Amino acid sequence: MSPTTNSNNRSSSSTRDNQPYHRISNSISSIQHPLPSSPPTYDELVDSNTTTTGNTGNTPPIEQFEIDDSYFDYDTHQLHPQSRILIIYNFINNNIINPINKLIEPIYEGYKYFQLQYEKSILKLGNPLVVKRLLYVTFIMTLIFFISKYNTNDSIKGSSGGGGSSFNTGKLYNINKLQDAIHNYIDPELMKDNLQYFSSISHISGTKGDLTLAKYIEQSMKNNGIHNVEFNELQSLINYPSKNPDDTYIKLSDGSFTAKLYESDGSKLENFAFMPNSLNTEEINLKYIYLNYGLHQDYKSLDSNNINYRDKIALIKYGGGIPESNKVKLAQSKGIKAIIFISPKFNIPFSYMETIEHDDVIIRENVGLTRISPGDVLTPGWSSEDGYITRLSWEKSQTTPKIPTIPISNKDGQALIKKLGNNKGFKFPDGTYSGNDESDLTIQLKITNTIRELHPIWNVIGSIEGREQNDKAVIIGANRDSLCDGTIANGGSIVLLELIKIFTSLQRKFQWSPTRSIYFISFDGGEYNLAGSSEWIENRREILSKQGYLYIDLSDLVSGDKLQINAHPFLQGVIKGEFSKFRSGELYELFHNSYHGDLKELTIDNNFMEFKNYLPFINLLNIPSLEIKFVGDETYPKNSCFDDMSYFKYSHGDSSNSRMTKHAQIVELLARVILKFAEDPLIPYSFEELSNSLDHSIKDLQSYAQSSHSQLNFEPLFKANSILKDNGQKYEKWRFEWTRFIANSNGAEPSLYALTRWKWNENMLVFNNKFLRPFITPQSSHQGSELVRPGYLNRLFGMGYGTPLNDKTHEWNTFPEIREMIRMGADGGKIQNEINSLANTFAEAAREFLNLNS
Tell me the average confidence (pLDDT) per consecutive run of 10 residues in the chain, 854 residues long: 44 44 44 57 51 48 54 52 80 85 84 82 79 84 74 42 38 82 93 95 95 98 96 95 94 95 89 97 97 97 96 97 96 97 92 86 97 94 73 92 98 96 92 90 96 95 95 97 93 97 95 95 97 95 95 94 94 91 73 75 90 96 96 87 88 68 93 96 96 97 93 96 96 94 84 92 96 70 58 94 90 95 93 97 96 80
In this structure, the strands spanning 313-317 and 338-342 are parallel
In this structure, the strands spanning 313-317 and 281-290 are parallel
SS3 of residue 474 by DSSP: strand
Cβ(346)–Cβ(361) below 8 Å: yes
Helices 569-580/656-679 angle, 10° precision: 110
The total of other beta-carbon atoms located within 10 Å of residue 615's CB is 24
Cβ(586)–Cβ(563) below 8 Å: no
pLDDT of residue 249: 97
Cβ(441)–Cβ(820) below 8 Å: no
CA distance 308 to 289: 9
The total of other beta-carbon atoms located within 10 Å of residue 207's CB is 19
Burial tier of 598 (Cβ tally within 10 Å: 0-12, 13-18, 19+):
exposed
pLDDT of residue 51: 45
Cβ(315)–Cβ(367) below 8 Å: no
SS3 of residue 35 by DSSP: coil
pTM: 0.80
CA distance 530 to 370: 8
**Residue 741: partners with Cβ closer than 8 Å, 6 or more residues away:** 753
pLDDT of residue 66: 56
Q: E strands, 9-127, where? A: 21-23, 65-67
pLDDT of residue 632: 85
Cβ(449)–Cβ(239) below 8 Å: yes
| CA neighbor of 727 nearest in space, from 690, 697, 757, 696 | 690
Q: E strands, 246-310, where? A: 249-252, 281-290
Q: What are phi and psi of 452, to 5 degrees?
A: -120, 110
pLDDT of residue 408: 98
CA distance 119 to 98: 31
pLDDT of residue 155: 41
The rounded Cα 809 to chain-centroid distance in angstroms is 34
**Which amino acid is located at 310 in the chain?**
R
First to last CA, the chain: 117
The total of other beta-carbon atoms located within 10 Å of residue 388's CB is 8
**Residue 626: partners with Cβ closer than 8 Å, 6 or more residues away:** 550, 551, 552, 553, 565, 566, 567, 568, 571, 575, 673
